[in-house]
Amino acid sequence: MNVSIEKFHAQYKKQGVLCISICLGAVETGHFKNTTPEQMAKAEGIFQKFLAYSPQFKGPSIPEADIKEVISV
């Protein structure tokens, strides 16, 4: 995806078009509803790494909050 965004940016930058990508991070979209205990343990391990890197991480965000954040950009 990043390569595609960069190609669009290179193609249209002379026309004043800026192409960027925004990573929302972990978003709760219902993906974890039917996970096995093993899958959930792996996900929790990843979330612990996120927390170590970013202490304010509170877990996956809700889509409505992320929509507002993207629009604010």
Residue 68 has pLDDT above 90, yes or no: yes
Residue 57's pLDDT band, with cuts at 50, 70 and 90, is: confident
Question: Is residue 17 in a domain?
Answer: no
Q: Does residue 59 have a pLDDT over 90?
A: no
Residue 14 lies in a domain: no
Residue 31 lies in a domain: yes
Work out the pLDDT band at 3, boundaries 50, 70, 90: very high
- What pLDDT score was predicted for residue 25? 81
Instruction: Give how many domains the chain has, as a whole number.
Output: 1
Q: Which domain holds residue 70?
A: 24-73
In a domain, 45, yes or no: yes
Distances (CA, A) of 67 to 4, 11, 48, 72: 22, 27, 25, 9
Q: What is the pTM of this model?
A: 0.58
The predicted pLDDT at position 12 comes to: 96
